[in-house]
């Protein structure tokens, strides 16, 4: 009989993990891999029946999800985040796909909320994500953020939506913008990319135009405008932080009296 493992990585997700795991109670194995929670996340997960492991050696979302994948024993794996919920309709589609699989990897649309409003435009929907796969048929890319499923198999498409309770309030928006812009800047810096304040402004402006106009964010009402501005700010911060990293590297390479090896030979 086909078995299913659900994998979730966590850190301080006590406000989310209960509803998340309850939405996937139909799975044969619930795997939670934590990276240092101090808010009761692990106790909640264990009480629901999850197999909880800890790994504090954070190397990014991709690496952590691959570690969680290594703990899965099911024939199939469903990867979700702590702030995501599998709806009854999606559950039915998943079970049907596992009973008579036409593909080895599946995607489905994701409907995300932003400060209490589900966003159906702004580039946020259908936001199709690939999360269901045979355990041996896929793995995660190694990016610090925005990791992806890597597979050589054709991806089948389910139609029911995964719910994403992404931002319950604006403090969460600001916190994530700060963390993700820092990680994004580090990724770009590691790839040898450069930036300037002017480029940061240009990227931010383009993010606003893409979200609000090209992706019809205006159809999401006032919250669409708020989201477009937030996207612009996050993009601006990412490239500004990249510029600052480049400046720090430049300063480190400047010859100084304290570092005579950087001084030109006499």
Cα separation, 24 vs 20, in Å, equals 7
Residue 75, classified by CB atoms within 10 Å of its CB into exposed (0-12), middle (13-18) or buried (19+), is middle
pTM of the model as a whole: 0.82
> Two tokens at 79?
């990867």
- Give the β-pairing of 129-134 and 105-108: antiparallel
**For the domain with range 4-166, which CATH number is right: 3.40.1190.20, 3.40.1080.10, 3.90.550.10, 3.20.20.150?**
3.90.550.10
Domain-by-domain residue ranges, the chain?
A: 4-166, 169-252
3-class DSSP state of 8 = strand
pLDDT in tens, the chain (266 residues): 899 999 999 999 999 999 999 999 999 999 999 999 999 999 999 999 999 999 999 999 999 999 999 999 999 999 999 999 999 999 999 999 999 999 999 999 999 999 999 999 999 999 999 999 999 999 999 888 889 999 999 999 999 999 999 888 889 899 989 999 999 999 999 999 999 999 999 999 999 999 999 999 999 999 999 999 999 999 999 999 999 999 998 888 776 555 544 433 33
Cα separation, 214 vs 265, in Å, equals 56
> Two tokens at 86?
């599998």
């Amino acid at each position: 009989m086909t078995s299913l493992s659900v994998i979730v990585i966590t850190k301080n997700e006590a406000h989310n993990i209960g509803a998340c795991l309850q939405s996937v109670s139909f799975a044969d194995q619930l795997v939670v891999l934590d990276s240092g929670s101090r808010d009761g996340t692990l106790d909640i997960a264990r009480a629901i029946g999850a197999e909880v492991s800890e790994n504090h050696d954070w190397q990014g979302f991709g690496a952590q999800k691959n570690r969680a994948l290594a703990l899965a024993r099911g024939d199939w794996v469903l990867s979700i985040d702590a702030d995501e919920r599998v709806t009854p309709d999606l559950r039915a589609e998943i079970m049907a796909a596992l009973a008579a699989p036409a593909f080895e990897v599946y995607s489905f649309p994701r409907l995300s909320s932003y400060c209490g409003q589900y966003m159906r435009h702004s580039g946020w929907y259908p936001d199709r994500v690939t999360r269901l796969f045979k355990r041996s048929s896929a793995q995660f890319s190694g990016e610090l953020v925005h990791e992806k499923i890597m597979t050589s198999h054709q991806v089948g498409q389910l139609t029911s939506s995964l719910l994403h309770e992404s931002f319950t309030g604006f403090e969460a928006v600001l916190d994530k913008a700060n963390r993700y812009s820092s990680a994004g800047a580090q990724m770009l810096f590691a790839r040898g990319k450069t930036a300037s304040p002017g480029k940061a402004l240009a990227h931010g402006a383009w993010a606003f135009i893409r979200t609000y106009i090209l992706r019809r964010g205006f159809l999401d009402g006032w919250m669409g405008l708020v989201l477009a501005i937030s996207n612009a700010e996050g993009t601006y911060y990412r490239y500004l932080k990249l510029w600052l990293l480049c400046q720090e590297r430049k300063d480190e390479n400047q010859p100084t009296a304290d570092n005579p090896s950087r001084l030109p030979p006499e």
